[in-house]
Structure 1
Amino acid sequence: MDGPVDMVYMYFRYHPNKPAAYVALAVFALIDIYLILRIRLQKAPAFMYKMIPLLTMETLGFVMRIVCFSTPINSGKFLVSNLFTVLPPNIVSLINYNTITHMIRLSNLETDKFYLNHKKLKILSIVCTVVPSMLQGIGGALQTVADLRPIGLNMAIAGLSAQLAVFTSFFLFLIFVTREKSIQYQVEGVRNPKKKALIRVYIALSLLTIRLIYRLVQSSTGPTGPATTNEWPLYVFDALVVAFAFLVLSTLNSCFPKKDEEIFIEIDEEKCRSSRESNVSDTLKEEPREEYKL
């Protein structure tokens, strides 16, 4: 009886609370079901579909966490449990970036500025998400090997620091987007959809930043620090804030046109431009007549 308990303690650095793990699993499973139903039934924008596998992975992470202390634990189970609960919150930040690029696309801006080109911003957001996540993932994997633990810890800290720098830059860009009047779009039946979408992004970014700072403190203080040797910070500053972030982002579809309405909106705007050009043309044609009468 003492053997398996000691092995669990060796990996986790504390004795995991089983009821807390089951509650977290139930919460993420319910949010996952809600997200799937909302996205599929309400025809959310394509970029929101990324959240389904991410939230499912987070849910499976807690399944593996339960498996780790319910069956004989080994490094493979522990690593999978960690990866499944660490990577989704990192990658879900891509939804924040995609929200802004989708907003810019719907605004139909005609500009050569890099920071207002939704295609280039999309590529940049992928790079800014993948690179820090890879550093954290590889760093976490290396920490399971005793000889490579210092290298893995430094890589994890580097990845977390890089992600914090990205979050800070994105926050400044959010302020610019909020003030930029040329970034505007319409959604039938929704008043000021841009403002409502940005509020959700600000909230999600704040929640993910709290979780990121916690992970940075955890890595910086090492395996004997209070953030590592106590379980409650994991649920308060990680699981809880990630659950709220997913819940907030799952309502973004109410701030954007449905997938089958985007073409209609773009066509409608094209008609408006054609109408304006036609009115200008008619005005120019009428001016000589007025001059002739005089």
Structure 2
Amino acid sequence: MPELKPYRGGYYLWKYVPSLPGAIIFLILFFVATIFHFWKLHRTKAWFCLAFAIGGIFEVIGYIGRIAAYNSTDSVIVYAIQNVFLLLGPALFAASIYMALGRIIRSVRAEKHSLVRIKWLTKTFVMGDVVSFLVQAGASGLMATGDNATLGSHIVVAGLVIQVIMFGLFIITSIVFEVRMRRSPTTEAFDERINWMSQLRTLYAVSALVLVRSIFRVVEYAAGNDAYPLTHEWMLYIFDSLLMIVAMFIWGIWHPGTLQKYITADRQDVTVTTEEAEAKA
């Protein structure tokens, strides 16, 4: 039977023995979802979705780490691996989400409706995501040592807060774009092949899932090592694992990779299709 073992002296890395069945189930789910994403990436050649697929790899490595931790709760390396990769995977999801909005806007030639200049839209949010990623990456390793665990936890919270703020601003930017488009749609917005509203809903859904997960993580680490969230594993699986696997499947099924061809396509062909759609209306 596995037992909770101290890392050094009386300091415990874990507050519970990680669930082996839970880790195996989510390892399989994330592995399948990641393979699916790389297949979609191969088909669409939408390289802005590469970060999302790599985020899936991070999740897979994280759950391999939790499986290894089942019999090694005293291993600082195993703890650090699962902690780092599960924290950082969603930050990579966010990078692709941010890049998708700019492509939605360009696909319907609606740059004038963007709250942030289209030239800076993707750069602004991705840069914020990179800062959040680096802060979390630099701090998550500290949490594996007793002396610096509290400091590492505080820094991780700071990185997660940056992520939450950027997502909040991103969702506001997306909503403003949708409102302006509804009031004054571009000609390309009537092209049924682009289906920009469906793409925007996918963006909203996945953004909301990552945002809720990030808020949970802020609460989890801000509450401290001995608080309920970090001492009860079910909260991680409900408010992180489940939300992120749902996000991966939503993004994979309603994949935004189809937008790529409309950004680079001959606009004359799109205009003809649009005029036909308007004539039928």
TM-score by length of 2: 0.83
Name the structure 2 match of 1:251: 253
Shift of the 149–72 alpha-carbon distance from structure 1 to 2, 3 Å rule, reads closer
Residue 79 of structure 2 is aligned to residue 81 of structure 1: no
Which of the pair has more CA radius of gyration?
1
- Aligned CA distance change for structure 1 residues 96 and 110 (closer, same or farther; 3 Å): closer
Cα distance, 1:46 vs. partner?
Answer: 2.3
CA, structure 1 residues 6+125, in 2 after alignment: closer, same or farther (shift >3 Å)? Answer: same
Between the aligned partners of 1:249 and 1:132, the Cα distance in structure 2 is: 22
Alignment partner, residue 284 of structure 1? none
RMSD: 2.9
Q: Name the residue aligned to 1:289.
A: none
- Aligned match of 1:39: 41
Residues 21-36 of structure 1: pairs in structure 2 closer than 5 A: 21-36=23-38
Q: Indicate the SS of the match to 1:115.
A: coil
Distance 1:128-1:186 versus aligned 2 partners, 3 A rule: same
Checking the alignment, whether the CA contact within 8 Å between 2:62 and 2:81 is kept in structure 1 is yes
Cα contact 1:204–1:249 (8 A) shared by 2: yes
TM alignment of 1:1-294, pairs within 5 A: 5-7=4-6, 10-41=12-43, 43-71=44-72, 73-109=74-110, 115-117=116-118, 119-181=119-181, 185=188, 190=193, 193-253=195-255, 256-257=258-259, 259=261, 262-266=263-267, 268=269
- Aligned partners of 1:110, 1:219: CA distance in 2, in Å? 39
Contact 2:55 2:91 in 1 (8 A): no
Q: Could you tell me which runs of 5 or more consecutive residues in structure 2 were left unpaired when the two chains were aligned.
A: 274-281
Equivalent residue of 2:17, what SS?
coil
Residues 197-255 of structure 1, C-alpha deviation per residue, up to 9 Å, x if partnerless?
A: 11111111111122112101111110001100011001000000000111111234367
Q: Please list the CA deviations of residues 45-73 of structure 1 after superposition, one character each: whole Å capped at 9, or x if unmatched.
A: 22112222211121121112111224574
How many aligned positions are there?
Answer: 267
Moved more, 223-232 or 178-187: 178-187
- SS of 2:141 mapped into structure 1: helix
The sequence identity of aligned pairs, in percent, is: 21
Q: Give, in angstroms, the shift of residue 188 of structure 1.
A: 7.0
After alignment, is 108-117 or 162-171 more displaced?
108-117
Task: Find the aligned partners of 2:264 and 2:53 in 1 and give their Cα distance.
Answer: 24
**1:91 positional shift:** 2.1
Between 69-78 and 222-231, the greater mean CA deviation after superposition: 69-78
Describe the superposition over 1:99-154 as per-residue Cα deviations: whole angstroms up to 9, x where unpaired: 1111122234565987132x321211221101122222222222223332332222
